[in-house]
Amino acid sequence: MLTAIEKTDKKMFELIRGEQARQAGSIRLIPSENYVSVAVMEATGSCLTNKYAEGYPTKRYYEGQQFTDQIETLACERAMALFGADGANVQSHSGSEANLAVYAALAEPGETIMGLSLPFGGHLTHGWKVSYTGKFFKSVQYELDPSTGLLDYDQIEKLAREHRPKILISGSSAYPREIDFSQFDRIAKSVGAYHVSDMAHIAGLVAGGVHRSPVPWSDVVTTTTHKTLRGPRGGMILFQDQHAKAINKSVFPGLQGGPHMHTISGVAVALKEAATEDFKAYARQVVLNAKRMAAKLMEYGFDLVSGGTDNHLMLIDLRGKGLSGKPLAKALDRAHIECNYNSVPGDTAPPFNPSGLRLGTPAMTTRGMKEPQAEQVAAWIAAIAENPENESVIEKVGREVTALCKAFPVPEVFVRIRED
């Protein structure tokens, strides 16, 4: 594939090769990023990118669907089997589109939805004010307990009883603890609401059996297909039988036209991979690495929101060290340690230079790194945090990071790097 690009577009070829080298030479700690297998990558780059498939299997608007129908059906069947769901829709182009489709299926514009506030770890599409989900619907936002950094289910229930939402959303984008979905289900039922869970970040951990599943406790579950699930970038909806017609109609023709069949084929491959014992071992190691890194960071004096992690991510509150997230993230990036600056609960700093860093272990674990490497990464983060403007320290750490990346190359089964 890359040889063909080189012949057609040398500039793009060089840019792609540059990105491949960057991914191979960096410790990627952004919790939403990972490495996909060559099989997933080849599926997403296959001839399926040539095919339109508006509609659903056996009910398409174009001919020539002999194989696309089988591919989409296979993806849905694998999703239902892996997560124990009654039904699945794999057509959403992203997790954000999947969320909007579900809200549109279950609520009318102007009705109330209730989700975790963005500065407290929620997602834009959980009703935050700058998102259309916060403009089309009346949005009520719950927050974390300021003293513990944990979800306060009693407070969530009190808020739900006050506002009587049509949809209660569980799930997060930056919450480092396990979520009790049964509590959300109980609260939703007590106020006559639908319980919608967004498991985008933890889908791979759920598939691997190291995080409780929201599926038995939710009317509808949305997820991305990448992150910990280690598939291509896309969205997926799992639902109870009674919601099938409304969900499917909301996705198509409600929000989009033709599905991306090349992505759906890659999702199907990733779902098969996620059903293996090797993937379960991977998911366990993701959590072990995150817990070890979190413990080590706290030994170095970092404040972690909620005091640790139960899943794949950590959220560092830098205010105690007198640091801002953006400059530290930039310094770490120069040392080939890739993370993202992020707001923390109660943050008064602006979103483009907040007071936190968000870290995760999915990608480093894919490369085979374990607890000793998690401790080493924590030590490097501490060294740069102590010297965020000292380029000699940053360069030294960068050289050490490069050596570690060479010792733990991206597995051939996950990404193929062309050699000079």
Which residues carry out catalysis? 52, 54, 198, 224, 227, 233
Q: Are strands 27-28 and 337-338 parallel, antiparallel or unpaired?
A: parallel
Would you mind telling me the total number of residues written for the chain in this entry? 420
Query: Residue 387 forms beta bridges with which residues?
Result: none
Identify which of 344, 304, 308, 307 has the alpha carbon closest to the alpha carbon of residue 324: 344
Structure tokens given for 201: 């970040």
Q: Please tell me the distance from the alpha carbon of residue 113 to that of residue 196, in angstroms, as a whole number.
A: 10
Q: Are strands 87-89 and 337-338 parallel, antiparallel or unpaired?
A: unpaired
Per-position DSSP letters for 346-414, written without gaps between them: T--S-TTS-SEEEEE-HHHHHTT--HHHHHHHHHHHHHHHH-TT-HHHHHHHHHHHHHHHHHSPPPTTT
Q: Please tell me the distance from the alpha carbon of residue 355 to that of residue 273, in angstroms, as a whole number.
A: 37
* Residue 123 near residue 32 (C-beta atoms within 8 A): no
DSSP label of 419: P
* Residue 316 near residue 359 (C-beta atoms within 8 A): yes
Interior angle at CA 310, CA 218 and CA 403, nearest 5: 125
* Residue 205 near residue 286 (C-beta atoms within 8 A): yes
Q: Please tell me the distance from the alpha carbon of residue 195 to that of residue 218, in angstroms, as a whole number.
A: 5
